[in-house]
A and B are shown apart, each in its own frame.
Chain A
Amino acid sequence: MKNKYSIFSLIKNAFSYHENWEKAWKDPEPKKEYEAIIVGGGGHGLATAYYLAKKHNMKNIAVVEKGWIGGGNTGRNTTIIRSNYLWDASAGLYDHALKIWEGLSQELNYNVMFSQRGVINLAHNLQDVRDLKRRTHANRLNGIDAVYLNTEGVKKFCPIINTSQDIRYPVLGGTLQRRAGTARHDAVAWGYARGADEMGVDIIQNCEVKGIKRNGDKVEGIETNKGFIKAKKIAVAAAGHSSVIANMAGLKLPLESKPLQALVSEPVKPIIDTVVMSNAVHAYVSQSDKGELVIGAGTDDYISYSQKGSHDIVEGTLNAILELYPIFSRMRMLRQWGGIVDICPDASPIISKTSIKGLYFNCGWGTGGFKATPGSGDLFAHTIANDEPHKLNAAFNLNRFVSGDLVDEHGAAAVAH
């Protein structure tokens, strides 16, 4: 049993200069065989392991990660959490996640710093206004909080926005989801890792999958740089590298992997206490607790695994940011980075069984996977344990690309993918 984190443990450890905290997770060598192996130690993979152990009583499982946990897109995103999606299937999926976020710090005994500071999505033309109003109604019919704000309403909620009507993309209004917000991305991975480790899950870092061994239409295990590991169930949550893993098993996925960029500024005093996203100009901004502006840009339009985005994408985003927030004109950017996101043709995720028995995929989250982390893990765990999808992820199967029953959120969701 791990020691509970609390104000008392904090005080106690302060006396020994914080040098004696117990390890949050072990660093084991892989066993010969597991009941299930999860490929990918990001938020989704670790959450999957956590819920498999907690809700489905599968304790003999491992998470294998080629680098360190939370070192991929979990550590490279703008940490926005919201559930204001248009279609019923998406609304169900993302609001399931949002409800778990609301109690996650307590459940994990790990402060994920979930902050429901609200998310605004801006409308810049009449079609945006109609689309966003429609989405607001759809959200409310699905029990998701959403309000439509006019220009004055946006200005009141976020006073630093330039609402002058003579700019290239004037603010005509916007939607507000008050339950939405941000969380500390690293803490999510570490919290789930600690929770899963406590229930006996092996978290194996620096363990890269080199191949997937198949026997006919069944999986038998994975080849790694730490040797062969046997398992009847292999669940892949490898984000941008999903296609690479799928190819090892002889599968093709409907995915394209592209660089998505974000950047942070130098830290400043509190200036923006919400999250503002703009679909048309592809710029979103919030402020971290350290005071940095966290700015999200768009994806490049070519496939790349290089974790480097193009400069013109950042330039376009910063143009938009400057027009919407003239107050930021003299701020300097500190860091910029690119993560590789796997995008489905309908820009909706896949949480699904495959044609190969025992092989499961959780992928295609594209530019918006972080917000779904707890829900994705919960539903993927259900799918793996029962070999059947939960009703909330039934629509997000791989077969939809054959049947044509797509979950077409492209542009219908609050932000372009």
Chain B
Amino acid sequence: MFLINCPFCGEREQSEFKAGGEAHIERPKQPTELSDDEWAEFLFMRKNIKGVQFERWNHAHGCRKWFNIARDTSNDQIKAVYKMGEKPPVK
């Protein structure tokens, strides 16, 4: 349990949000030309980092908007919150 600072609504409990998994996985530009290996990479393979991870969250019980956070998965501390489409903070 931790607090998330929604860029639109402010600080709320994590239980108001829905986790959307790893961020910045790009949708294939030419899906018809993808090999099975590339599909597997896009659909299933995840970094699953222990440490600072960039991930998508949705304020499901609030503004219902998506945004990104950088969170340390070893202790659930949030390092940065940034909007969709923005580049991840460099640290």
CA A402 – CA B40 in complex, angstroms? 5
CB-contact partner of B21 in A243, A256, A305, A342, under 8 A: A256
Instruction: Give the residues in chain B near A301, CB-CB below 8 Å.
Output: 18-19
B48 within 8 Å of A (CB atoms): yes
On whether the beta carbons of A243 and B48 are closer than 8 Å, the reply is yes
A328 within 8 Å of B (CB atoms): no
On whether the beta carbons of B55 and A303 are closer than 8 Å, the reply is yes
A206 within 8 Å of B (CB atoms): no
Instruction: Give the residues in chain A near B90, CB-CB below 8 Å.
Output: none
Instruction: Give the residues in chain B near A302, CB-CB below 8 Å.
Output: 14, 19, 55
A159 within 8 Å of B (CB atoms): no
On whether the beta carbons of A247 and B47 are closer than 8 Å, the reply is yes
How many of chain A's residues touch chain B, expressed as a range?
Answer: 20 to 34
On whether the beta carbons of B76 and A304 are closer than 8 Å, the reply is yes
Instruction: Give the residues in chain B near A312, CB-CB below 8 Å.
Output: 1, 15
- A311 and B1 in contact, given A241-B50, A305-B74 (Cβ under 8 angstroms): yes
Within 8 A of B (CB), among A283-334: 300-306, 308, 310-312
Instruction: Give the residues in chain A near B46, CB-CB below 8 Å.
Output: 243, 252-256
Question: Interface size (B, Cβ < 8 Å)?
Answer: 26
CB-contact partner of A305 in B19, B22, B37, B73, under 8 A: B73
Instruction: Give the residues in chain A near B74, CB-CB below 8 Å.
Output: 305-306
CA A256 – CA B46 in complex, angstroms? 7
Instruction: Give the residues in chain B near A401, CB-CB below 8 Å.
Output: 40, 43-45
Instruction: Give the residues in chain B near A254, CB-CB below 8 Å.
Output: 40, 44-46
- Shortest Cβ distance from B69 into A: residue: A302
Within 8 A of A (CB), among B24-69: 36-37, 39-41, 43-50, 53, 55
Residue from A243, A402, A403 with most neighbouring chain B CB atoms (10 Å): A402
Quote the shortest CB–CB distance from B70 to chain A (angstroms). Answer: 13
CA A342 – CA B21 in complex, angstroms? 14
A244 within 8 Å of B (CB atoms): yes
- B-side residues, CB < 8 A to A, are 1, 14-15, 18-19, 21-22, 36-37, 39-41, 43-50, 53, 55, 73-76
